[in-house]
Chain A
Amino acid sequence: MRSTSGLGWHLIRGWALLVYVFMFLPVAVVVLLSFNDSQFGSFPMTGLSFRWFVELWENEAILRAFETSIVLCLLTSIISTTLGVLASLALVRYRVPGANAISTLLIAPILVPEVVLAVALLLFLNFLGIHKSFALLLFGHVIFTLPFVILVVQARLVSIRREIEEAAMSLGANPVQTFFQITLPLMLPAVLAGALFAFTISFDDITGTLFWKPGGVETIPTQIFAMLRNSISPEINALGTVMIVMTVGLPLLGVAVARRLAQRSGG
């Protein structure tokens, strides 16, 4: 091994640091400014305060958007996870004709640019004469998040040996009992991770949501977008902080829980 103390290594370290600063400084600034007492969302800070969080709490439009977002994300997450688990089971455990093609199709939404997908779905439903609705928005989010669930669950399912299920059946458990007693507990970490992915991706999404949401309905990201068009209020900083906590904190929590579960079940 070559020494890691030469000038070259110092330069590489410095550069890496700069990259991190470039990536995370704006986020840090948002979090910092959300606690700023000043009524302008910018430096210098005039004092530490939670007033913007309080105002956020009192802002009807934001609360409504928050509620919409939570309902949408929860439903997306539940539907995507259920469909994703069923699809993975079918693709991994049963011989489905054209399994590869189906798998590719289900995962394709990740590869197609979001705008294209959004417009396509909208045009398609227009063509069918179906109007924008919350159900349509939900439908779009499910299409979007399903690939992530399938990728995670499929990978786990492949690692669960078929003989374990065969052993359960030979001992008298029917296929449904085998699923709930053996397969589901063993793939639970992946199922939770998939659900979490679906939740945070749906919570974050703006492009598709802008196209699909019916008039008057706002999610948190579209609400921020709308607010930004008028003025840069310090409330947005506070909202940004809340979102960061949700989209970073929640997955971290999920990963920790999944690890505990995986450890208990012997990975």
Chain B
Amino acid sequence: MSSVVLKNIVKRFGSFTAVHPSNLEIPEGDFVTLLGPSGCGKTTNLRMIAGLLDPTEGEILIGGKRVNDLPIHKRNLGIVFQNYALFPHKSVADNVAFGLKYRNVTKTEIARRVEAALSLVQLPHVGGRYPKELSGGQQQRIALARAIVIEPDVLLLDEPLSALDANLREDMRVELKRIQHQIGVTTVFVTHDQSEALAMSDRIVVMSGGRIEQVGTPEEVYNRPQSEFVANFLGASNILTGVCRERSAETATLEVPLFGMVPVPNDKAARVTDGPAKLVLRAEKLTLMDTGADTSGMIAAAATVETVDYQGQTVRYFVRVGDRSLQAINMINERPFPEGSAVVVAFRPQDCAALPG
């Protein structure tokens, strides 16, 4: 177990810069997720930590030691790949034992540790089988067992759940988190799936265009986005451009079109100063109500339902307020509002966040 530090790391491929100067510290034992759309540089970062890519500039430290010049096979890392990457010509037990053969471990000790790893991933009886005889989910568990049996300093997970079906993915999510918690290994997880990131991580690193947009706990990046990109990537948000009129001890008051004055709590408007500002209004915080409903303590405006996107538990509306179309995701109480109906949309100002304009 070790910490991972990226110092002013840069990666260029020819004239294309995949990772702009980035700094990141991953404390020992943390589960950190690199989250972002494809091409944001998250996999490039992971591959640089793994030693599969050399950084163009900067330093990588694992456990406080610079590893830039250490080849991958000497870094003592466990890597789980998206497509499992099991050795097809070796049995499951030989797959798991592979890494131990290169670490002075006796045969009986290898057998014991392989067995322990297989029972940790809850597949104790498949050692004699070959990878192609297992399902995708089982193969991914074996890949995980193979990566952790060597007691790696850092566990690197490269979209390990993306190749699985939706149901299995949720099971594996819980399973992966349980195993990581049990062995306490520092883990770097790469995904483009925000729900995976929110559910599993101690901290999330949101990336876009080769830059780190924000680092924080799931709750922080979700509720206090520091950029428009983060606000939109984690869940759906409405961004209203306005002006910050007043800063008090508790709030920053923004004047935005359609809704007027909105006092945003200071902890959600940390970087806002007087002048142009943006209001981040999450779709699930914007509630539709019958006209004439009680909206005390809320900020409300009249609206018309444009589109209804029924999703079972929730419903996603597009509503027209003045000249803007806003997105709202609401729980369904009785039945959704029909298209074309006149409603009131309302939100609590403390549910909003503000960004500098």
Chain A interface (Cβ < 8 Å from any Cβ of B): 161, 163-164, 166-175, 177, 181-182, 185-186, 264-267
A263 to B81, CA, bound (A): 24
Size category of the B interface is 20 to 34
Q: How far is the CB of B264 from chain A (nearest CB, A)?
A: 46
Asked if residues B81 and A264 are in contact (CB atoms below 8 Å), the reply is no
Given A161-B85, A185-B89, A167 and B102 contact (CB-CB distance below 8 Å)? no
Q: How far is the CB of A93 from chain B (nearest CB, A)?
A: 13
The answer to whether B130 has its CB under 8 Å from any CB of chain A is yes
The answer to whether B78 has its CB under 8 Å from any CB of chain A is yes
The answer to whether B150 has its CB under 8 Å from any CB of chain A is yes
A186 to B87, CA, bound (A): 9
Asked if residues B132 and A266 are in contact (CB atoms below 8 Å), the reply is yes
Asked if residues A169 and B88 are in contact (CB atoms below 8 Å), the reply is no
Given A166-B79, A166-B85, A171 and B52 contact (CB-CB distance below 8 Å)? no
Asked if residues B89 and A264 are in contact (CB atoms below 8 Å), the reply is yes
A177 to B72, CA, bound (A): 13
Given A161-B83, A171-B98, A172-B99, A166 and B89 contact (CB-CB distance below 8 Å)? no
Asked if residues A173 and B73 are in contact (CB atoms below 8 Å), the reply is yes
Given A168-B87, A266-B89, A177 and B130 contact (CB-CB distance below 8 Å)? no
Q: How far is the CB of A264 from chain B (nearest CB, A)?
A: 7
Give the residues in chain B near A166, CB-CB below 8 Å. Answer: 50, 52, 72, 79, 81, 85
Sample of 12 A–B contacts (CB below 8 Å): A161-B83, A163-B85, A164-B88, A170-B77, A170-B79, A171-B99, A171-B147, A171-B150, A172-B102, A172-B103, A173-B98, A266-B132
A186 to B193, CA, bound (A): 33
A185 to B77, CA, bound (A): 24
Asked if residues A169 and B73 are in contact (CB atoms below 8 Å), the reply is yes
Give the residues in chain B near A170, CB-CB below 8 Å. Answer: 50, 72-73, 75, 77-79, 147
Q: Is the interface of A mostly helix, strand, loop or mixed?
A: helix
Interface string of B42-78 (1 = CB under 8 A from A): 0000000010100000000000000000011111111
Asked if residues B85 and A266 are in contact (CB atoms below 8 Å), the reply is no
Give the residues in chain A near B130, CB-CB below 8 Å. Answer: 266
Interface string of B83-111 (1 = CB under 8 A from A): 10111110000000011001100000000
The answer to whether B131 has its CB under 8 Å from any CB of chain A is yes
The answer to whether B146 has its CB under 8 Å from any CB of chain A is yes
Residue of A166, A177, A185, A186 with most chain B CB atoms under a 10 A cut-off: A166
Q: Closest B residue to A265 by CB, please name it.
A: B89
Q: How far is the CB of A94 from chain B (nearest CB, A)?
A: 14
Q: Closest A residue to B52 by CB, please name it.
A: A166
A156 to B72, CA, bound (A): 25
Asked if residues B146 and A171 are in contact (CB atoms below 8 Å), the reply is yes
Q: Per a CB cutoff under 8 Å, which of A167, A172, A264 touches B85?
A: A167
A174 to B52, CA, bound (A): 13
Chain B interface (Cβ < 8 Å from any Cβ of A): 50, 52, 71-79, 81, 83, 85-89, 98-99, 102-103, 130-132, 143, 146-147, 150
Residue of A161, A166, A168, A172 with most chain B CB atoms under a 10 A cut-off: A172
Q: How far is the CB of B28 from chain A (nearest CB, A)?
A: 20
A178 to B81, CA, bound (A): 17
Q: How far is the CB of A143 from chain B (nearest CB, A)?
A: 33
Asked if residues A163 and B81 are in contact (CB atoms below 8 Å), the reply is yes
A172 to B98, CA, bound (A): 9
Q: How far is the CB of A215 from chain B (nearest CB, A)?
A: 49
Q: How far is the CB of A146 from chain B (nearest CB, A)?
A: 27
A174 to B81, CA, bound (A): 19
Give the residues in chain A near B79, CB-CB below 8 Å. Answer: 166-167, 170
Give the residues in chain A near B102, CB-CB below 8 Å. Answer: 171-173, 177
A264 to B90, CA, bound (A): 9
Asked if residues B89 and A168 are in contact (CB atoms below 8 Å), the reply is no
Give the residues in chain B near A267, CB-CB below 8 Å. Answer: 88
Q: Closest A residue to B158 by CB, please name it.
A: A163
Q: Closest B residue to A167 by CB, please name it.
A: B85
Q: Closest B residue to A174 by CB, please name it.
A: B73
Give the residues in chain A near B99, CB-CB below 8 Å. Answer: 171-172
A168 to B81, CA, bound (A): 12
A208 to B183, CA, bound (A): 66
A173 to B103, CA, bound (A): 10
- 8 smallest beta-carbon distances between A and B, as pairs: A171-B99, A172-B102, A266-B88, A265-B89, A163-B85, A167-B85, A170-B79, A266-B132
Give the residues in chain A near B132, CB-CB below 8 Å. Answer: 266
A164 to B84, CA, bound (A): 8
Q: Closest A residue to B76 by CB, please name it.
A: A172
Residue of B76, B81, B88, B143 with most chain A CB atoms under a 10 A cut-off: B88
Give the residues in chain A near B81, CB-CB below 8 Å. Answer: 163, 166-167
A43 to B132, CA, bound (A): 57
A163 to B77, CA, bound (A): 15
Give the residues in chain A near B143, CB-CB below 8 Å. Answer: 167
Q: Closest B residue to A264 by CB, please name it.
A: B89
Residue of B77, B78, B89, B147 with most chain A CB atoms under a 10 A cut-off: B89
A164 to B146, CA, bound (A): 13
Q: Closest B residue to A160 by CB, please name it.
A: B88
Q: How far is the CB of A158 from chain B (nearest CB, A)?
A: 15
Give the residues in chain B near A171, CB-CB below 8 Å. Answer: 73, 98-99, 102, 146-147, 150
Q: How far is the CB of B32 from chain A (nearest CB, A)?
A: 18
